[in-house]
Structure 1
Amino acid sequence: MTAEYPAEPWHLVGQLHASVFLVPLAEVQEALTDAPSRGLPPGVHLVRLGGRCVVATAWVDYQPGGVLHYRELMSTLLVRSRWRLLPTITHIWVDSEQSRDGGKALWGIPKQLADFDFSDDSAEPAPAPARGRDFTAADESGAIAAGTIRPRRRLPVRVPVRFRVVQRLHGRAKVTPVRSRAGLGVAAATFTANPAGPLAFLAGRRPILTLTMHDFDMSFGG
């Protein structure tokens, strides 16, 4: 049964923590063969940096105040469509049937269901940089990944963040705009993928950069 979901654009608010990895091309290509995205969208190509591909994971806490309230883990690849650089989502889990069904139907995002445990920011007094969160995600097959985020620096003002996401929808490349405003920062992070799970290609890898979007206000779709 398909859950009812909001019409686009979706207005969403919350917290996002994205980590960037460089992964050998051969390992990315192997992971794509079994990815829920069914490979890459038509007409796009992997961006390669010295034989490696740019992978980004994100833990997202969509909080009350938006059209949906849920949690999410995703893995994306940086791809090229002609002259444009775009992310494409290859693996993604949510704990909302509305989000799962709406993401697939509206934008071709291959969302699957999972269970999440997101810790709250530290309740004990501590300097701001020391506060952080812990994350885990698991589905019926077992653990997917776990992670930690410890904020380090943050811009003093909120800034606009705009980009586009490309997915496969009805056999074509579907490009979806994302517009947001957030407090941007950098963080120290760990990401532990289950070596026997769907993100095994990230097992044992350390992110080269982690960015945070604090208290984002986002419009997804158009």
Structure 2
Amino acid sequence: MTPYPEQPWHLAGQMYLSLWLAPRGDLPAVAAGTQPVVAFGRGVVGAAWVVYEQDSDLHYNELLRAVLVRDGSRPRACITDIWVDSEASLSGGRALWGIPKEMADFEVGRADVVEATASSGRRALAATRFSQSWRLPGQWPLTYKVAQTLDGRLKTSRASSKATLRFARATWTAPTHSPLRSLGRRPPLVSVALRDFSLRFGA
């Protein structure tokens, strides 16, 4: 028996997401066989805190950074940095999809103003304050593909989700030693909370 669920994973919970237009020099390395989508010297970077709960296959916290890339002419998301507090999630993410998960400790609030921190060992990774505001009516579907490197090859995985959207204001900070230090150099272009989302990830 594997120490993690077989794919696809069915997940649900809360996500707090920010997007930046980052200078090319601030973009992290992406999966081999893909290229960052860059216009006027800037690429799209997203970072998110995720709380997987409710009827998820696994319950855990997550902090990730991803870059909008292209595989040929096809747009993809490439997860470049990611931390979780679940050994099963770490093992499954790496083995099934080539997602480079690491372990971390988390504190994530549960209110309209969400404060979140993550640290690896005794080293802080990032801290964020999300102030949620008005909500868009209905639930919003989103289908996309994630491109990673698995066993030396490009691995593309499908994700389908649905969530209630609330706009937010977010402040990100990260110490100089953190891989996420560039996120604190400028405010996000936009931030949203994906409340009570459902997600199907993988084949």
Task: Give the aligned residue type for 2:44.
Answer: V
For residue 185 of structure 1, report the CA deviation from its aligned partner: 2.4
Q: Partners of 2:68 and 2:175 in 1: how far apart?
A: 22
Q: Partners of 2:127 and 2:39 in 1: how far apart?
A: 27
State the SS of the aligned residue for 1:26. helix
- Corresponding residue number in structure 1 for 2:118: 137
- Corresponding residue number in structure 2 for 1:179: 160
For residue 141 of structure 1, report the CA deviation from its aligned partner: 4.7
CA deviations 1:154-211 (Å, max 9, x no partner) are 2211121211111001111111111111112221111111222111222322101012
Task: Give the aligned residue type for 2:16.
Answer: H
For residue 49 of structure 1, report the CA deviation from its aligned partner: 2.3
- Corresponding residue number in structure 2 for 1:6: 5
Asked if 1:203 is matched to 2:203, the reply is no
Which of 51, 73, 97 aligns to 2:41? It is 51
Which of 189, 192, 199 aligns to 1:218? It is 199
Asked if 1:83 is matched to 2:81, the reply is no
Q: Which moved more, 1:171-180 or 1:105-114?
A: 171-180
Whether contact under 8 Å (2:30, 2:67) holds in the other structure is no
Q: Partners of 1:44 and 1:26 in 2: how far apart?
A: 17
Asked if 1:20 is matched to 2:14, the reply is no
Are residues 170 and 64 of structure 1, via their aligned partners in 2, closer, same or farther at CA, if it must alter by over 3 Å? same
State the SS of the aligned residue for 1:216. strand
Q: Partners of 2:122 and 2:182 in 1: how far apart?
A: 17
For residue 132 of structure 1, report the CA deviation from its aligned partner: 1.8
Q: Partners of 1:141 and 1:44 in 2: how far apart?
A: 34
CA deviations 1:87-128 (Å, max 9, x no partner) are 10000000000000000000000000000001121xxxxxxx
Q: Partners of 2:153 and 2:166 in 1: how far apart?
A: 35
Q: Partners of 1:167 and 1:54 in 2: how far apart?
A: 17
In structure 1, the gaps of 5 or more residues are 33-38, 122-130
Are residues 27 and 159 of structure 1, via their aligned partners in 2, closer, same or farther at CA, if it must alter by over 3 Å? closer
**Identity across aligned pairs (percent)?**
41
State the SS of the aligned residue for 1:163. strand
Q: Partners of 1:212 and 1:84 in 2: how far apart?
A: 26
State the SS of the aligned residue for 1:157. coil
Q: Partners of 1:85 and 1:216 in 2: how far apart?
A: 22
Asked if 1:113 is matched to 2:103, the reply is yes
- Corresponding residue number in structure 2 for 1:161: 142
CA deviations 1:14-35 (Å, max 9, x no partner) are 001110112211232xxx4xxx
The alignment yields a C-alpha RMSD, in angstroms, of: 1.3
Equivalences, count? 202
TM-score, normalised via structure 1 length: 0.87
Q: Partners of 1:141 and 1:167 in 2: how far apart?
A: 28
TM-score, normalised via structure 2 length: 0.95
